[in-house]
């Protein structure tokens, strides 16, 4: 799903699969293999957690960072695709986002 986005490279982060655009991390699989860590601004993160705490959460480690954790078994594929695309837009250079027809951040 993430690899379908422009200029995405797969690598490792803390020993788990991770996805970067122009060397900027926007998503990575958590160590449990069932949670995805995704870039999200604090307002979006809080709204997601408030609306669906069974799907979205944050740990003490991520409280000070713009990331949200997603329980993969609890999210629909289309919603996950939208969330990954949102994270990609946050991290991709503005020129790249504009080139594919969108607004960044």
Express each pLDDT in 53-100 by its tens digit. Answer: 999 999 999 999 999 999 999 999 999 999 999 999 999 999 999 888
Mind listing the domains of the chain with CATH numbers? 2-99 (3.90.1150.30)
* Bridge partner residues of 8 (DSSP): 21
The pLDDT of residue 57 is 98
- End-to-end C-alpha distance for the chain, whole angstroms: 20
Token pair listed for 46: 């809080």
Q: Whole-model pTM? A: 0.91
What per-residue confidence (pLDDT) applies to 96?
Answer: 93
The confidence band for 105, taking pLDDT boundaries of 50, 70 and 90, is low
């Amino acid at each position: 799903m993430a690899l379908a986005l422009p200029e995405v490279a797969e690598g490792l982060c803390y020993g788990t699969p991770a996805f970067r655009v122009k060397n900027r991390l926007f998503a990575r699989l958590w160590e449990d293999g069932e949670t995805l860590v995704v870039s999200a601004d604090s307002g979006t993160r809080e709204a997601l957690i408030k609306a669906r705490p069974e799907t979205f959460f944050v740990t003490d480690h991520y409280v000070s960072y713009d990331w949200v954790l997603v329980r993969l078994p609890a999210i629909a594929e289309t919603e996950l695709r939208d969330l990954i695309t949102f994270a990609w837009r946050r991290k991709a250079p503005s020129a790249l986002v504009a080139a594919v027809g969108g607004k960044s951040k």
